[in-house]
Amino acid sequence: MSEHTSTLMDGVIETIKTIVYALLIAGVFRTLFFQPFWIPSGSMKATLLIGDFLFVNKMAYGYSQYSCPFALCPISERIMGAEPARGDVVVFRHPVNGQDFIKRVVGLPGDTVQMRSGQLYLNGSPVPQVANGTFVETFEAQGPVGSFPLCREGRPGIGADCSKEKAIETLPNGVQHSVLNVANGRFDNTGVFTVPDGHYFFVGDNRDNSTDSRVKPEFSGVGFVPYDHLIGRADRVMFSSAGRSLFFVWTWRPDRFFKRID
């Protein structure tokens, strides 16, 4: 083997090593600290918009088997665990279909949860809501999936205003956040749910357009979410794009960069 060939092979080997090390570091970082997450649907409007990009804080609740990609962590019970607080925005693994969801914790173990005429009741008491104007967006295909928003106006036509009633909801621990209402929906009135030990009740802020704990998994809902299915807490939007591609610079939302998630 010539000296030139040997030098070339050494360079290739070093490049491969660098790539492998980089992938290992990225894998450890993703598993132990922060997991990237794109918002694919409008279920958490107006808190989160389709196209928001965030990092999920995995250290917030400790680690379970679902902390690793494909649920491959060899952990039988959560370690370094901490309980989520009411009002946290959390990414979790769906108990049945294995997809990652993002919703807000409203019910803790032992709580009773009910919806009456669109208002949340916890342990028999109504959670206060104060009207806060109107959330208005453009009626158009949104994000890579191209879904259309729900509007009080029905289907007002491409490019027209699409509105929803907005209110500020205050949970019992003082956490405040926006909730949206389109109309009297099928999930605005429910029976009373009692959250089992080791489980949590999640609801989307866009109440009429959210698949969440108000519906059992066997009916295409989420149901109660086990503690070990929690992946991490969403604290801040890092980047946001309103278009169908990250590379459509003209669709970026600069006002949402590094925005705190309440």
Report the catalytic residues: 43, 103
Length of the chain: 262
Quick check: helix, strand or coil at residue 149? coil
Is residue 208 within 8 A of residue 183, CB to CB? The reply is yes
Cis peptide before 22 (omega within 30 of 0): no
Separation CA 242–CA 50 (nearest Å): 7
The H-assigned helical ranges of 69-194 are none
The H-assigned helical ranges of the chain are 3-32
Q: Enumerate the β-bridge partners of residue 259.
A: 237
User: Assign residue 182 a region: left if phi > 0, alpha if psi is -120 to 50, beta otherwise?
Assistant: alpha
Separation CA 42–CA 71 (nearest Å): 26
Spell out the residues 6+ positions from residue 212 whose beta carbon is closer than 8 angstroms to its own: 43, 103, 202, 203, 204, 221, 222
Tokens of 39: 């918002």
Separation CA 97–CA 99 (nearest Å): 6
Is residue 126 within 8 A of residue 120, CB to CB? The reply is yes
